[in-house]
Amino acid sequence: MDGAAKGRGAAGSADIGAQERVVAEQEWLQRWETGKIGFHKEQRHPLLQKYLDILLNGRSGLRIFFPLCGKAVEMKWLADMGHRVIGVEISEQALKEFFAEHSLPYREEPVPGTSGAKMLQSMSGNISLYCCSIYDLSSAIVGKFDGVWDRGALVAVNPCDRQRYASLMISLMEKSSSYLLVTVLYDPNKHKGPPFYVPESEIKSLYGNQCEIKCLQKVNDFSDRHREWGLDYFLEVLYILKFVP
């Protein structure tokens, strides 16, 4: 990553106001129906592979949460390691594609007390994916998690809903949990999102009262897709969040 990109990545938090767009659930459903899922990655994310040890922290048999999971390939990868994976996604098509593409038989169950919600669970029981709004979840339904992989989730949440999202995530974390969070940086005056621009100041505002926040790495992820959006830089930023003792 060049130094100019680093400098541009430090855009002021005042620029967040340029992103007032609200994305309805129906728009995400239509993206899955029409195959407009450029946010989905066919390969395991290199930052998760690089920093997996920080997420696991020497522990085995963890409960790991994938918010707004889509059909993330890392879910099977972690389940194959012996962890229990729990995800939530509004698109039932995305969840069914996940099980089909990994040749995993699954069963469906309604979620008690949540109208229209269902859980799709691998027959082995180590992958449980909830088809509903993330805001339908609570620790009473899904329990608490030892680890979180948040890539494409916070950055997809409408900016006006971020505090609600962060409060929910904190309520779902065990005190010893490790939360790996991927955000994106670009010029928010040139692209309205999603993914939405989330500077470090916003992370501190959302999570700083509860968590210790450390930036692990910034990666230049600029591609032709971002150039088509009118951007000249696009960074992915990885943070580790841990509860303050």
User: Which residues define the annotated binding site?
Assistant: 28-39, 68, 89, 133-134, 151
DSSP secondary structure letters along the chain: --HHHHHHTT--GGGGGG------HHHHHHHHHHT--TT--SS--HHHHHHHHHHHTT--S-EEEETT-TT-THHHHHHHTT-EEEEEES-HHHHHHHHHHTT--EEEEE-TTSTT-EEEEETTSSEEEEES-GGG--HHHH--EEEEEEESSGGGS-GGGHHHHHHHHHHTEEEEEEEEEEEEES-TTT---SSPP--HHHHHHHHTTTEEEEEEEEEE---HHHHHTT-S--EEEEEEEEE--
Q: For residues 49 and 132, give the distance between their C-alpha atoms in angstroms, rounded to a whole number.
A: 28
What residue numbers does the annotated binding site for S-adenosyl-L-methionine cover?
28-39, 68, 89, 133-134, 151
